[in-house]
Structure 1
């Protein structure tokens, strides 16, 4: 696994200026045809194909046919470039917006939202190794967030719950996509096939299963670990949606109304069953 990178680790004011088009530097004297967008999307293509560790100003310059130093007229360094890349992969096409809006029910819209998270990580697996604990918010990222929030229109949920559920779906997608991607990349990374990997462990594991120490594991069906991929994600997603639907139905039946802005609904609902 590549060394973990962090969003927002560079000059934050420069990243924000570049993301929102309020930066004037880089417009005087650069070679025609080179722009921040071209640099960013070239970097994304490299990362998608070879991993984030393969991205360098020298390699980007080579792909664009320019000198490395000319890139610094537009982007100050790799830390700021990463912020731009993270926003760049979040761009939404109009067809995707219309697809979301065309879903007949909120649940179908939520399934599409969750599936888009899954597909996003598979298309850009390097994202799985970036720490975005402090996200740098650009226009594409906010467009995506706005679209995600639209799925919740009219539902009996607080704003805090909407954001929490989006975060939960995204985190579940990221975690399972990481397992899926790592498994796919293991053979290329180690030169050992899956069959060779498990055959090497087989004698010890067979002995362990016969020992009686692990009766539940020993009874597992042969295909128990064969679905650690999109099917597992779909299962987890549907169970999360079941829970959300049950909450919404309960609130509708009981005439629940949203608390005042700023109220901590999680704390209030947890206290409902408490006695004084």
Structure 2
């Protein structure tokens, strides 16, 4: 579910925008924080496709041009939104570096990011690109690196392992968000049961023995097709690989 929202064209301007105070009121009394918070509310409820500068302005009761004195446009607004919600990931006070060992710490990172993305499903709609580090993203990155520090990985490997964990979470959250949307629309979640007879007839004499064997086992497993179970197994396998390298 990729978004068509482009990345900002002036990353240098965006850096200043991200790091300058967010609660300084303009001439109308409006603050950048209010703009961002209302944009997040729209995206949380309806997705990035519903987010426009006009929608945010209407929600705030101001003219659209007023917003542009705080935010140059939608691409910059989305970056501000991403940074704001990133800073909330560990608001419960349970930090990755305080868990029992590096594996527990990275599982903690995975579980918190899973919940974070489901609270803000639009975060997995943003087209990946070179990140522009604001205070929220920087603080989150620092906290998530902590379990890996001093275990025997290089700094580059620490970054790559963390990025691998986060990528696994993001990809499986996309699956979960899709299932949730089908469920919310009253769609048929038992898709395989619906298409299986027609698929069997269409495949006819074609034989895919390995796919048939694994598919049959998958069809009998309770956790089959569960994005959360897939995420947890995938993260554990990645961590097994890290443990092998450390050994």
| Both proteins in one fold, TM over 0.5 | yes
On the 8 A contact 1:209/1:217 being kept in 2, the answer is no
Q: Is it true that 1:90 corresponds to 2:86 in the alignment? A: yes
Aligned counterparts, 1:153-192, within 5 A:
153-186=149-182, 188=184, 192=187
Cα deviations by residue, 1:155-204 (Å, 9 ceiling, x for unpaired): 10001100000111111111111122112213556x64234x54652332
Structure 2 counterpart of 1:20: 19
The 1:212/1:12 distance shift into structure 2, 3 A limit, reads closer
The 1:99/1:144 distance shift into structure 2, 3 A limit, reads closer
Aligned counterparts, 1:137-156, within 5 A:
137-156=133-152
On the 8 A contact 2:5/2:127 being kept in 1, the answer is yes
The 1:216/1:207 distance shift into structure 2, 3 A limit, reads farther
* Structure 2 residue corresponding to 1:240, chosen from 221, 230, 238: 238
The 1:3/1:146 distance shift into structure 2, 3 A limit, reads closer
The 1:223/1:177 distance shift into structure 2, 3 A limit, reads farther
On the 8 A contact 1:48/1:125 being kept in 2, the answer is yes
Distance 1:207 1:161 in 2: 49
Distance 1:12 1:95 in 2: 28
Structure 2 counterpart of 1:259: none
User: 1:97 deviation in Å?
Assistant: 4.8
Distance 1:206 1:187 in 2: 26
Q: Is it true that 1:5 corresponds to 2:1 in the alignment? A: no
On the 8 A contact 1:3/1:129 being kept in 2, the answer is yes
Compare 95-104 and 179-188 and name the one that shifted more. 95-104
The 1:62/1:161 distance shift into structure 2, 3 A limit, reads same
Distance 1:65 1:59 in 2: 10
Structure 2 counterpart of 1:255: none
> Per the alignment, in what secondary structure is the counterpart of residue 240 of structure 1?
helix
On the 8 A contact 2:95/2:143 being kept in 1, the answer is no
Structure number with greater Rg is 1
Root mean square deviation of aligned Cα: 2.5
> Per the alignment, in what secondary structure is the counterpart of residue 89 of structure 1?
helix
Distance 1:180 1:133 in 2: 22
User: 1:114 deviation in Å?
Assistant: 1.6
The alignment of Structure 1 onto Structure 2 pairs a total of residues equal to 242
Distance 2:187 2:178 in 1: 14
Distance 2:115 2:229 in 1: 13
Normalised by the length of structure 1, the TM-score is: 0.78
Compare 106-115 and 225-234 and name the one that shifted more. 225-234
Which ranges of structure 2 fall in alignment gaps of 5 or more residues? none
Distance 1:139 1:35 in 2: 17
